[in-house]
Amino acid sequence: MTNDSVTTSAKRPVLVQVDHLVQTFNPGKKDEVKAVQDISFSIYQGETLGLVGESGSGKTTTGRSLIRLYQPTGGDVLFAGQNIARLRTGSPAMRDFRRKVQMIFQDPYASLNPRMKVKDIIAEGIDIHHLAASAADRDNRVNALLAQVGLNQDHANRYPHEFSGGQRQRIGIARALAVEPEFIIADEPISALDVSIQAQVVNLLKDIQAKQGLTYLFIAHDLAMVKYISDRIAVMHNGRLVELASADEVYNHPLHPYTKSLLSAIPIPDPAIERQRTPLVYDPREAEDNRPRQLVAVYPEHYVWAAADEVAAYQAAAVRQHREER
Amino acid sequence: MTPQSPSRPLGPEAFKPVPVNTQAQEQIAAPSLTFSQDARSRLKQNKLALVSFWLLVFIGSAALLSLWFSPANPNTQHLAYTHLPPKWGNLNVPFFNGYRDGVDLYARSGVPRGTYFFLGTDYLGRDLLARILVGTRVSLFIALLATFFDLTIGVFYGLIAGWRGGRTDTIMQRLIEIISSVPNLIVVILMLLVFKPGLTSIILAIAMTGWVTMARLVRAETLQLKNQEFILAARTLGETSRRIAVKHLLPNLSSTIIIQTMFTIPSAIFFEAFLSYIGIGLPAPTASLGTLLADGQKVLQLYPSELVFPAIIIVVLMLAFNLLADGLRDAFDPRSSR
């Protein structure tokens, strides 16, 4: 089996297809960083793909390469059939891409320009892409977006520092929605928020998705939250995808040892079970034996990063786990 | 006395949850202040900076008004009236009554009635007040020029170096290091080989070197800002670099720029005064605070007032600009204070 199986097994239309994406910083220099090392996956139209992994695993870099904040070192990113990695800055296709793909950022305190009014922050994309016919139309759009994210109209003339973290994050969401995008990359949108506010923001994202048929790439390190919002989950480690499957599948039948280790680290709010929980330690050296590895389908729609001779063991484990469940 | 509300027994209705108004939760009660309004209110609390500000306004407008309403021609010599002490009309204020060592010098020199020199005269009988006003004007002109070069070359250079980064930044930084490693004084002395001493060489020297600190500060701040998420958001929205610089970078750099300008001004004023003092600044008849100090210093033991008055002006100018700069820094960036 080859990588192609990852990208062509779709029955649903594919919106984003990532092929052998490589992102290296300072290539060839002493401080070279291989942030993303040859990853391939696709995102179906209308789904939420959760991207999880520990700090430094390359999640954010992947998101930023997809939206062309970084120029990919290698590989292709196809968005609606168009190769984003080759688009020239300032070209009409690039402008179109900039409108259709948006990002929600991690830090609600850094993602809003402190010197701009909320109105102008939200309308930034409207101004750039000339979406408003008049000043009144611009104001109407801003008010509608504010209402959509649950803020009042009289917030439009205030400055970001007057808002709470959750409110700011919702302003950031309104800014992303202003250009009517098709695909939103949410880069840890809730990790800087209070737990009480996290649910509010996540539910808002789900609502908007249901209403507008948006596609999300949801980057996070909180597995529980990712499972709640995602249709499928991709697990990243050391710049590689180690496992990709539906949310339930990853959660209930993890195959790769790193995924197992991640899942074993989730605390369970039941003292009886929590006392039994033993965190599994994953040794990354397991995978650094220079054997060629790639994402292989070991069960329908369940991919694991494995060397050729490990595939059989994973397949057997998958079958066994599913049989046990039944 | 018993408490104002008599203790009422708590019925079961007291334990019903109060309905939550989600719309009201989003309400912000505080008045909406822009950044500059906020900074202004903080500046107003700083008495020292406020006094400095009004002092500068007073000195500046006096110097400017003297263009049209000068107390006397600053270059007219009255060889009969040399080294006269100050005299404020007929007010007879001690030290300002035209007497020195008990002698009425105005009467002895034959100064006509109704002619007064408010701050006395110098060794050529020129009105010291008029000359100080001219000197202040020169200083403020230099301040304006230094600001101009700071805001144009300095800000632009720093923005480009910081925003482009990489090799562009490295080359631009090396260039700045070369420029700043040559002392200003050497630059001015080398200019004297080409130009006559005067404003031209001082202006050129400030144009060549005065903006270096500003460029460095703006570059450092830009490097920090350009990875902020709101800049990334602007890029994902498709904003061009030039618009990002105008809409996002400059407004966030404004406090740094204003503060640095306020620190550049006194050093430029001092630089000009220093050059004029050692005789390679403005040429002879033109008054400048530096030449006035040099002239006054020659007769310090006999007529100290001729040194003291220009010295007071330059000290007040320097202090006021520095204190105002401090005040502005605290107002714009409250975290940096103390």
- The yes-or-no verdict on residue A125 having pLDDT over 50 is yes
Q: How far is B163 from chain A (nearest CA, A)?
A: 14
User: What's the rounded Cα separation, in Å, for the pair A25 and A34?
Assistant: 6
Amino acid at B280: I
ipTM at complex level? 0.88
Confidence class for position A10, pLDDT limits 50, 70, 90: very low
Query: What is the rounded average pLDDT for all residues in chain B?
Result: 86
Closest by CA position to A97, among listed A132, A58, A66, A142: A66
pLDDT at B335: 64
Domain assignments of chain A as residue spans, ordered by start: 4-325
Of residues B28, B230, B232, nearest to A158 (C-beta): B28
Confidence class for position B21, pLDDT limits 50, 70, 90: confident
Confidence class for position B282, pLDDT limits 50, 70, 90: confident
User: What's the rounded Cα separation, in Å, for the pair B82 and B138?
Assistant: 24
- The yes-or-no verdict on residue A177 having pLDDT over 60 is yes
- Residue A87 is encoded by which pair of tokens? 């688009």
pLDDT at A1: 38
Q: Of A57-61, A84-88, A251-255, B69-73, which range is least confident?
A: B69-73
B25 Cβ under 8 Å from any chain A Cβ:
no
- The yes-or-no verdict on residue A6 having pLDDT over 60 is no
User: What's the rounded Cα separation, in Å, for the pair A250 and B273?
Assistant: 75
- The yes-or-no verdict on residue A326 having pLDDT over 70 is no
Residues of A in contact with B30 (CB under 8 A): 162
Residues of A in contact with B254 (CB under 8 A): 115
- Residue A84 is encoded by which pair of tokens? 């984003």
* Closest chain A residue by Cα to residue B224: A110
User: What's the rounded Cα separation, in Å, for the pair A29 and A13?
Assistant: 40
User: What's the rounded Cα separation, in Å, for the pair B280 and B186?
Assistant: 11
Residue of B23, B26, B243, B257 best to disrupt the A interface, most CBs of A under 10 A: B26
The average pLDDT across B306-322 equals 92
B181 Cβ under 8 Å from any chain A Cβ:
no
pLDDT tens-place string over residues A202-254:
999 999 999 999 999 999 888 888 889 999 999 999 899 999 999 999 988 88
pLDDT at A11: 67
pLDDT at A72: 92
For residue B309, CA distances in Å to A302, B117, B133, B198, B205 come to: 87, 13, 11, 24, 28
Q: How far is B242 from chain A (nearest CA, A)?
A: 13
For residue A1, CA distances in Å to A200, A218, A312 come to: 42, 28, 12
pLDDT at B60: 93
Give the orientation angle of helix B289-298 with respect to helix B128-149, to 10 degrees. 140
Confidence class for position A55, pLDDT limits 50, 70, 90: confident
Contact state of A111 with B32 under an 8 Å Cβ cutoff:
no
Contact B289, B138 (CB under 8 A): yes
pLDDT at B84: 80
pLDDT at A272: 87
Percent pLDDT > 90 in chain B is 35
Contact A209, A128 (CB under 8 A): no
| Domains of chain B with bracketed CATH | 45-76+126-336 (1.10.3720.10), 84-120 (no CATH)
Contact state of B233 with A157 under an 8 Å Cβ cutoff:
no
pLDDT tens-place string over residues B178-218:
999 988 888 888 888 888 878 888 888 888 888 999 999 99
The average pLDDT across A72-80 equals 91
DSSP reduced 3-state for A120: helix
- Residue B172 is encoded by which pair of tokens? 């631009």
pLDDT at B316: 94
pLDDT at B334: 66
Confidence class for position B338, pLDDT limits 50, 70, 90: very low
DSSP reduced 3-state for A322: helix
DSSP class of B79 = G
Residues counted in chain A: 326
Contact state of A152 with B27 under an 8 Å Cβ cutoff:
yes
Q: How far is B238 from chain A (nearest CA, A)?
A: 5
Contact state of B237 with A128 under an 8 Å Cβ cutoff:
yes
Contact B286, B138 (CB under 8 A): yes
Other C-beta atoms lying within 10 Å of the C-beta of residue A286:
10
HSE-up (13 A, CA, CB side) for residue B43: 24
Query: What is the rounded average pLDDT for all residues in chain A?
Result: 88
User: What's the rounded Cα separation, in Å, for the pair B167 and A59?
Assistant: 28
User: What's the rounded Cα separation, in Å, for the pair A218 and A69?
Assistant: 17
Percent pLDDT > 70 in chain B is 96
pLDDT tens-place string over residues B68-82:
887 778 887 888 888
Contact state of A112 with B230 under an 8 Å Cβ cutoff:
yes
Percent pLDDT > 70 in chain A is 96
DSSP class of B96 = S
Residue of A97, A115, A182, A196 best to disrupt the B interface, most CBs of B under 10 A: A115
* CATH of range A4-325; options 3.40.50.410, 1.25.40.340, 3.40.50.300, 3.20.20.60: 3.40.50.300
Confidence class for position B305, pLDDT limits 50, 70, 90: confident
pLDDT at B336: 56
Confidence class for position B6, pLDDT limits 50, 70, 90: low
Contact A261, A276 (CB under 8 A): no
